[in-house]
Amino acid sequence: MKNRIVTGLFFLATGLLISLGPTYLFKVCETMGDDFMKCHWTARAEIGIGLLLAVFGVISIAVSSVHIRLGLHMGAGLTAILAASLPTVLIGVCAMPGMNCHAIAAPSILVISLLVIVVSILNSIYLLRQSKKSIQDFDRKSNEASSREEQ
Amino acid sequence: MSQQEQSPKGSKKKLGIITIACCNLKKKAVRTSCLMGLVAVLSFTLFSGLILTTSLRGGMESMRQRLGADFMVVPDGNQAKFEGALLRGEPGTFYFGRDTTKILSDIEGIIKTTPQFFITSLSTDCCSYQVQLIGYEPKTDFVIAPWISGQLKKDLEKGELVVGSKLEHQVGDTLKFFGREYVVAGRLQETGLGFDTSVFMNFDTAENVLDDAKIKGIHYRFNKGDSISAVMVKAEEGYDVSAINNAIVDRLREAGIKADVVASRTIVTTASDHINQFIFYVKVFSVMLWVLAVVLLSVVFTFSVHERKKEIAVLRILGATKGKLLQLIFGEAALIGTGGALVGLSLAFLVLFPFSTLISLTLNLPFVLPPPQRIAFLAMLSFLLTGAAGPAASVSSAYRIVKNEIQATMREGE
């Protein structure tokens, strides 16, 4: 229960940060008239990816099944890889180091995504162990029940 | 102390010192987290301090080596603008007569002179930001060419560019200025100076850029073919700064040219003073924090061991030797130290390297990150120093507890 809420809220918060951060918090460069820079499109794409991550977080809080949460957390990790690759590989940001998007927005997205990746890996390992444990408990209980029936 | 613990699954797990230490730490989760947090702060500060000081020293060294010229002569009243362009790559344009180069080269004690021409690109041109374009003369140049990394085998030709290390464009890429595309022929090595964000070209290419700018309605205040922005001057070995400085000023005054003379030694000394001041504060802060952390950890360990006197006495009765008890206490302290140091280092890596550009911009000083092997060495050093803080803090409390007699300990408080 504790793990479910903590990790769910973590994915929700980081998802919202990735989604809204480049537009409102650690802003990318402002557009000049009709001229859109690369960082503008990165910020737009991050809105969708961040929201997806946030939705994973909400579902993770709502669902108690360990197996579904395991799948959600693996998905969150992969989504975070996508979020990190937008400003670095897939779209990029302005080339000038002094620009906001280069100095602040891209590193922020990268750090948040890395945190999500680490948390999702660690929690997936934890959930995997939990699921194995629950299967073993189930087997033990059914064995005990069948032996009682035999007696 | 080493026993076999029966796990719920039925497999047998060895109950060694580390396992017992882990169990003890897990049981006091809040205390363990707080202590680890303290060590993490220490580790973060120490590693960050080391990286910042090394980067600033690297920037300083790079600046000393790569300024190239001993004196830089710029139009009167433009020294600050020039230093902004040189140190931080802030775009600036200022011009004076090209004959300045000839006048300076005739001065005794000056062995080389080379002109440079500064243009500011449009912010919407190539990369949606303003770039400092620097025109230079490849034949006389001694400032730019030594730092062009490997690729450029010949002199820069018309239509070709060399870009600073922090611009992402690679050799073969094109860059557009005032509607015309130019090919990147080389990249400059990292300098920690404004050169890292500048674009270099020969005078013919610079004239092309200016012609295109004129077509676009942008007029720079210069005389075509007769203007330059700065003259870089190389003096003889062991030159007298003030003598050459005075000679330059006098000769230019005689020629009726108003100019500022910037001595690279002055720039280096000023930056060096700022850097040394910063490094001093970082060192003092790190030492104070290390002492504070060791004192705090000692206090906490003393209290913790004091309240576990009876538990330790029971372990002695059960057959644990004094050596094993010492190992247990040191093991717990080492686990806290190691865990905290790792957390602190990870956080420092997450903050320092992705945000290095922001840090360098905020400090406004020459900043060159050390090479990976140096970073690894500094990380190891920080890890050892902070990881050692835990065991170091637990020495006195550990010896005090094992020194006591079991009977006296058990009867305490009766």
Please indicate, yes or no, whether residues B18 and B162 belong to a single structural domain of this protein.
Answer: no
Question: b/e per residue, B339-356, with b = 16+ CB within 10 A?
Answer: bbbbbbbebbbbbbebbb
B9 found inside a domain: no
Taking the Cβ of residue A91 and every Cβ of chain B, the question of whether any pair is shorter than 8 Å is answered with no
Q: What residues contact residue B185 under an 8 Å CB cut-off, 6+ apart?
A: B151, B152, B156, B157, B160, B161, B162, B171
Query: B117-121, B200-204, B308-312: which has the minimum mean pLDDT?
Result: B308-312
Q: Are residues B148 and B253 in the same domain?
A: yes
Pairwise CB contact (< 8 Å): A99 & B129: yes
- B153 close to B140: Cβ distance less than 8 angstroms: no
The distance of A90 to chain B (nearest Cα, Å) reads 15
Interface check A96 vs B, CB under 8 A: yes
In sequence order, which residues have a C-beta less than 8 Å from that of residue A130 and are 6 or more positions away? Answer: A66
Nearest beta carbon to residue B124 from set A35, A97, A106: A35
> Does residue B309 lie within any of the structural domains?
yes
Same domain, B194 and B97: yes
Token representation of residue B216: 């676009």
pLDDT in tens, B33-74: 888 898 898 899 899 999 999 998 888 888 877 777 888 898
Using CA coordinates, name the residue in chain B closest to A100: B358
> Do both B33 and B164 map to the same domain?
no
Domain coverage including residue B18: 14-62+271-411
Those of residues 126-145 in A touching chain B at CB distance below 8 A are 136
Residue B344 resides in a domain: yes
Residues B123 and B209 in one domain: yes
Same domain as B387, residue B326: yes
Task: Looking at the structure, tell me whether residues B249 and B114 fall in a common domain.
Answer: yes
Query: Does the distance separating the beta carbons of B355 and A107 come in below 8 Å?
Result: yes
* Nearest-neighbour CA in chain A from B194: distance (Å): 11
pLDDT in tens, chain A (151 residues): 788 899 999 999 999 999 999 999 998 887 766 677 888 899 999 999 999 999 999 999 999 888 899 999 999 999 999 999 999 999 988 877 778 888 899 999 999 999 999 999 999 999 998 888 877 877 888 888 888 877 7
Final residue belonging to a domain, choices B257, B282, B309? B257
Predicted local confidence at residue B377, as pLDDT = 95
DSSP state, residue B14: E
Residue B3 lies in a domain: no
* Amino acid letter, B289: L
In a shared domain, residues B218 and B360: no
**Angle (nearest 5°) at CA B155 between B149 and B161:** 65
Task: Give the CA distances from residue B183 to residues B89, B94, B411, in Å, rounded to whole numbers and listed in that order.
Answer: 21, 26, 87
Residue ending a domain, among B257, B289, B316, is: B257
Q: pLDDT digits over B167-203, tens only? A: 878 888 888 888 888 888 888 888 777 888 888 898 8
Residues from chain A contacting residue B343 (CB–CB below 8 Å): none
Domain spans in chain A, listed from the N-terminal domain onward: 2-150
Pairing of strands B259-263, B71-75: antiparallel
In a domain, B8, yes or no: no
Name the token pair of B257.
């040219």
Buried b (16+ CB within 10 A) or exposed e, A81-95: ebbbebbeeebbbbb
Chain B segment 83-102 residues within 8 A of A by beta carbon are 89
Q: Does pTM top 0.80 for this prediction? A: no
Write down the pLDDT at residue A13. Answer: 96
Tell me the C-alpha to C-alpha distance, in Å, between residue A28 and each of A20, A24, A36, A69, B143: 11, 9, 11, 33, 35
Neighboring chain A residues of B197 at a CB cutoff of 8 Å: 96-98
- Claim to verify: residue B275 and residue B237 sit in the same structural domain: no
Question: At residue B277, does pLDDT exceed 80?
Answer: yes
Last residue of a domain, one of B257, B286, B307: B257
Question: In this structure, are B238 and B91 located in the same domain?
Answer: yes
Q: Which residue has the tokens 């139009």?
A: B75
B63 CB-contact burial (10 Å; exposed 0-12 / middle 13-18 / buried 19+):
buried
Decide if B354 touches A, using CB distance below 8 A.
Answer: yes
Q: How many structural domains is chain B composed of? A: 2
Q: Point out the residue among A94, A104, A136 whose CB comes nearest to the CB of B129.
A: A94
On the question of pLDDT at B327 being above 50, the answer is yes
Q: Is B89 in the same domain as B206?
A: yes
In-domain check, residue B131: yes
Q: How many CB pairs under 8 A join A and B?
A: 54
Q: Give the whole-angstrom CA distance, residue B387 versus residue B36.
A: 10
Mean pLDDT confidence for B316-345: 86
Q: Are residues B98 and B240 in the same domain?
A: yes
pLDDT at B267 over 90: no
Tell whether B359 is within 8 A of chain A (Cβ). Answer: no
A94 touches chain B (CB under 8 A): yes
Cross-chain CB nearest to B167 (options A95, A104, A110): A95
B38 CB near a chain A CB, below 8 Å?
no
pLDDT the model gives residue B2: 45
Chain B nearest CA to A109, separation (Å): 10
